[in-house]
């Protein structure tokens, strides 16, 4: 059926439509809970298989974000204009190097000779190259024992005395002279990376670490781990205790190391929204969130068994959806902000801020013109309106810009932290870190989209958008300052309890969101919802008291721990384990 029209009705209809469009546009400038739900339910779905960096699931997530950036009108980070859909998506992706798989090659050999007899040690059983080991073939004519293999000039400690040569293999012990003391002087210098660096600068040809284990299967160094932090320049191998006894009698060592490290593509997703001011558009505000997660478990997982999909709805599909939503809102806003906005979805966060670290060293807009970085990591599980904001000590203006809000804010000064803002703070860029707190589903398969508090996440995003607008409204850029560093996270300690503290809770005692299965905390009888009020003779009022107490604990020693559970006060006993 045809409809009869005249010019007047067309005009009226056109006016009506344009005002409707204007209204729609106005409304769309608010963060939308239903859009967030749409993004998170996809990103955290089984289809993406937990988004472990380097896997097809993570790459699908990256392409999804790129598609949304394109739709929001962002320009690709690389500045190139592509036409074909595939090329358009690819232009938003910044590739960074990533080792996805480490395997033992076919050519590993370690032969000991004492002039007469020769013994071949078996890789896997008697010895193993480390995941970071260089691949080389060496004849080492001298074996030198150098204690723990630690060089720490600031402590006046040097296990490498004298001069060394490439013909030598340095043989060292695991650990440090301080044993298990978490406040030991050697916590840094005693780390594997520093021991490798010490051996390299001493000038030996290879580093051989004697395990405390009879069976290499129990030796963590023998697990072919690779942390994507760079290779050693020399072969680094670990040898079982029984094999080390044979080594003690040897005069010459022939060593061939062969570790296969397969690089796979990994991506940051970068989109730029150019500012409207001819001068200030050359300054950039970065808004970021990591999109990767833990895949099916492994390192970083708190699940009782490996193999299940870790959905990562809160960690960090929530931040990624927030990033997409902010890109849409700022892309639609007229007039545009004066300054340019750079939206970045980072990969490789869970394995140690790999993507953001790569970005700050290979920035797509000038780092010295990057005036602020705002990070969102786990913003989907707000409870009782509690919101944590980190980094408020990194610019003199932050506290004032944050101002009043409807949330119960827990502000912290520090610019360092366990997420991507840390990489920017290292480059002396003011940062803010938004976080709604941890929970019992943290790093478990059960971090699913149905548990997200979408309405409150939308409220958090409104606040982020408001702060971005206020940063942009000022004529002067933010004034960077060095923030007070707070006590190290519990993760930095050498003892392990297996508690999951609620960092957002600031009331008396330390509230536990959960305890890790089969951990010292679980064995002690601690439960989610318990409030820890005393450990040993430390009164625990907050997470800092707790961190302090944890720092003084020794593995294997029993401590009294007092908790409040409902109306009861319980006295339990806990024995921390050494962190591996
Ligand atoms: Zn995480």
How many beta carbons lie within 10 A of that of residue 111, not counting itself? 15
Distance 315 CA to ligand 1 centre (A): 5
Distance 335 CA to ligand 1 centre (A): 36
Distance 519 CA to ligand 1 centre (A): 19
Residue 408's pLDDT is what?
Answer: 94
Distance 349 CA to ligand 1 centre (A): 8
**DSSP letters for 459-485:** HHHHHHHHHHHHHHHSSSPP-B-PPPP
Distance 266 CA to ligand 1 centre (A): 17
Distance 505 CA to ligand 1 centre (A): 19
SS3 at position 361: helix
Distance 350 CA to ligand 1 centre (A): 5
Distance 252 CA to ligand 1 centre (A): 46
Distance 260 CA to ligand 1 centre (A): 27
Q: How confident is the model at residue 486 (pLDDT cuts 50, 70, 90)?
A: low
Asked which of 11-15, 265-269, 298-302 is least confident by mean pLDDT, the reply is 11-15
Q: How confident is the model at residue 44 (pLDDT cuts 50, 70, 90)?
A: very high
Distance 306 CA to ligand 1 centre (A): 16
Distance 558 CA to ligand 1 centre (A): 30
Distance 316 CA to ligand 1 centre (A): 7
Distance 434 CA to ligand 1 centre (A): 14
Query: Is it the case that residue 491 has pLDDT exceeding 70?
Result: no
Torsion of CA 504, 506, 509, 515, to 10 degrees: 0
Distance 289 CA to ligand 1 centre (A): 11
Distance 443 CA to ligand 1 centre (A): 6
Distance 184 CA to ligand 1 centre (A): 28
Beta strands in 304-420 (DSSP E): 340-346, 370-376, 386-390, 408-412
Query: Is it the case that residue 54 has pLDDT exceeding 80?
Result: yes
Instruction: Give mean pLDDT, residues 510-531.
Output: 86
**C-alpha span between 309 and 326 (Å, rounded):** 28
Q: How confident is the model at residue 181 (pLDDT cuts 50, 70, 90)?
A: low
Distance 400 CA to ligand 1 centre (A): 30
Distance 488 CA to ligand 1 centre (A): 18
Distance 114 CA to ligand 1 centre (A): 50
Distance 108 CA to ligand 1 centre (A): 35
Query: Is it the case that residue 25 has pLDDT exceeding 80?
Result: no
Distance 489 CA to ligand 1 centre (A): 14
Place of tokens 């007469």: 116
**Cα–Cα nearest to 89, from 112, 62, 107, 115:** 62
Condensed to tens digits (0 to 9), the pLDDT of residues 405-419 reads 899 999 999 888 889
Q: How confident is the model at residue 211 (pLDDT cuts 50, 70, 90)?
A: very high
Distance 446 CA to ligand 1 centre (A): 13
Contacts of 356 by beta carbon, 8 Å cutoff, 6+ apart: 268, 288, 290, 344, 346, 349, 420, 422, 423, 424
- How far from the centroid of its chain's Cα atoms is residue 118's Cα? 46
Q: How confident is the model at residue 2 (pLDDT cuts 50, 70, 90)?
A: very low
Condensed to tens digits (0 to 9), the pLDDT of residues 296-351 reads 987 778 887 778 999 999 999 999 999 999 999 999 999 999 999 999 999 999 88
């Amino acid at each position: 059926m045809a409809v009869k029209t005249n010019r007047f009705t067309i005009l009226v209809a056109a006016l009506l439509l344009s005002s409707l469009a204007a209204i729609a546009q106005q409304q769309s400038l608010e963060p939308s809970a239903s859009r967030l739900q749409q993004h998170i339910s996809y990103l955290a779905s089984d289809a993406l298989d937990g988004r472990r960096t380097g896997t097809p699931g993570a790459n699908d997530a990256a392409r999804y974000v790129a598609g949304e950036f394109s739709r929001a009108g962002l320009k690709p980070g690389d500045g190139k204009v592509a036409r074909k859909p595939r090329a358009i998506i690819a232009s938003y992706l910044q590739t960074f190097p990533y080792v996805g798989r480490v395997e033992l090659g076919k050519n590993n050999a370690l032969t000991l000779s004492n002039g007469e007899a020769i013994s071949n040690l078996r890789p896997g059983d008697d010895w193993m190259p480390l995941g970071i080991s260089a691949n080389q073939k060496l004849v080492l004519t001298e074996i030198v024992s150098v204690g723990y293999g630690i060089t720490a000039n600031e402590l006046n400690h040097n296990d490498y005395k004298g001069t060394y040569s490439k013909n030598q293999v340095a043989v060292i012990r695991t650990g440090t002279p301080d044993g298990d003391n978490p406040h030991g002087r050697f916590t840094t210098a005693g780390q594997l990376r520093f021991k490798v660096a010490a051996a390299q600068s001493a000038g030996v040809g290879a580093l051989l670490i004697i395990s405390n284990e009879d069976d290499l299967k129990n030796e963590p160094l023998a697990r072919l781990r690779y942390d994507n932090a760079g290779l050693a320049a020399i072969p680094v191998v670990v040898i079982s205790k029984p094999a080390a006894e044979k080594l003690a009698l040897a005069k010459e060592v022939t060593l061939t190391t062969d570790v296969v490290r397969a690089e796979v593509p990994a991506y940051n997703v970068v989109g730029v929204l150019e500012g409207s001011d001819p001068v200030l558009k050359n300054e950039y505000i970065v808004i970021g969130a990591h999109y990767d997660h833990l895949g099916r478990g492994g390192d970083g997982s708190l699940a009782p068994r490996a193999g299940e999909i870790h959905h990562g709805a809160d960690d960090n599909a929530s931040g990624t959806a927030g990033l997409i939503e902010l890109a849409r809102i700022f892309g639609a806003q007229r007039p545009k902000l004066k300054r340019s906005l750079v939206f970045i979805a980072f990969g490789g966060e869970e394995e140690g801020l790999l993507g953001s670290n790569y970005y700050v060293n290979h920035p797509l807009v000038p780092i010295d013109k990057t005036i602020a970085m705002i990070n969102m990591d786990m913003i989907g599980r707000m409870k009782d309106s509690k919101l944590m904001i980190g980094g408020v000590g990194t610019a003199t203006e932050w506290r004032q810009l944050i101002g009043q809000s409807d949330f119960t804010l827990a502000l912290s000064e520090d610019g360092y932290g366990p997420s991507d803002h840390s990489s920017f703070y290292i480059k002396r860029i003011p940062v803010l870190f938004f976080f709604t707190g941890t929970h019992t589903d943290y790093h478990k398969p059960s971090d699913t989209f149905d548990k997200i508090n979408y309405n409150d996440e939308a409220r958090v995003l409104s606040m982020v958008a408001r702060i971005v607008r206020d940063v942009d409204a000022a004529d002067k850029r933010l004034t960077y300052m060095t923030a007070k560093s707070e006590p190290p996270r519990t993760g930095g300690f050498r003892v392990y309890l297996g508690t999951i503290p609620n960092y957002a809770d600031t009331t008396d005692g330390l509230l536990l969101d959960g305890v890790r299965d089969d951990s010292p905390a679980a064995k002690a009888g601690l439960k989610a919802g318990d409030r820890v009020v005393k450990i040993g003779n430390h009164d625990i009022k907050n997470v800092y008291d707790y961190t302090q107490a944890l720092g003084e604990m020794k593995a294997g020693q029993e401590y009294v721990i007092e908790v409040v559970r409902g109306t009861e006060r319980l006295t339990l006993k806990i024995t921390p384990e050494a962190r591996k």
